[in-house]
Amino acid sequence: MVDESSYRQGGRVGVLALQGDVREHTALLERLGAEVVRVRRPEELARVGGLVIPGGESTVIDKLSRQFGLAQPIRDAIGDGMPVLGTCAGLIMLADSIEDAIEGQQTFGGIDVVVRRNAFGRQVESFEASLEVPLLGERPVRATFIRGPVVERLGPDATALAALEDGRVVAVEQGNLIGISFHPELDGEPRFHERFLDRVASRP
């Protein structure tokens, strides 16, 4: 890990602020020393060196990103190697394919996976789990799942970072992209955000 001063030197990061738990991600990133821009328009995306896509409703994020002219600029940024962290709906938006997409639903893509939306049922069926994530150290990750997706198929270019006891993959990585099914920002779990910030700080 790099220290917090390196995050500041690495430039601004953005949180996609169209819908979802924007405030919680912003607070965690700022606690880690990052300068945060709430991204709603292409000109704001152009000011940041990395992007967090928060949880929320993937269909709404998709629709609003197109309405605000952000969808293609985000795809272009991903193609150019911008580090991106997607949580819950953010994982759906980073997936190359959705198994149960609604008609016309699109993603930004970038991670070679197929995901299934709302894999754990309704919001009242939310739950917590302790996950082993070797890449983040020996201490387990406390994970809160709220109508989260799961990775149904993992392509050869993507790497699984964590799975539930039944084997369902809930965290993946590909290049500078990280996608997770749960909400570390709600539990104050900083390590995924730290890994994201490391990528931003080290990018040329």
**pLDDT band, residue 6 (cuts 50/70/90):** very low
Mean pLDDT of the region 48-66: 96
Q: Is the pLDDT of residue 10 over 60?
A: no
Q: Which residues are catalytic?
A: 88, 183, 185
**CA–CA gap between residue 73 and residue 97 (Å, rounded):** 19
Residue 97's pLDDT is 95
**Taking the mean position of all CA atoms in its chain, how far away is CA 91?**
5
Instruction: Give me the mean pLDDT over the 121-125 stretch.
Output: 53
- In the numeric block, which tokens belong to residue 46? 């152009």
Q: Dihedral through CA 39, CA 26, CA 59, CA 146, nearest 10? A: 180
**pTM, 2 dp:** 0.91
**According to the model, what pLDDT value does residue 148 have?**
86
164 bridge partner residues: none
What pLDDT was estimated at residue 124? 44
Write down the domain spans for the chain: 4-202
Q: How much is the pLDDT for 11? A: 64
Separation CA 60–CA 117 (nearest Å): 13
Question: Which CATH number is 4-202 given?
Answer: 3.40.50.880
- The overall average pLDDT reported for the chain is 90
The whole-number pLDDT of residue 123 equals 52
Beta carbons of 2 and 28 less than 8 angstroms apart: no
* Residue 120 predicted with pLDDT over 70: no
* DSSP code, position 102: P
Give the pLDDT confidence of 17-30 residue by residue, as tens digits: 999 999 999 999 99
Q: Count H helices, E strands: the chain? A: 8, 12
**Contacts of residue 44, Cβ cutoff 8 Å, sequence gap at least 6:** 14, 37, 38
Average pLDDT over residues 160-165: 94
User: Above 70 in pLDDT, residue 84?
Assistant: yes
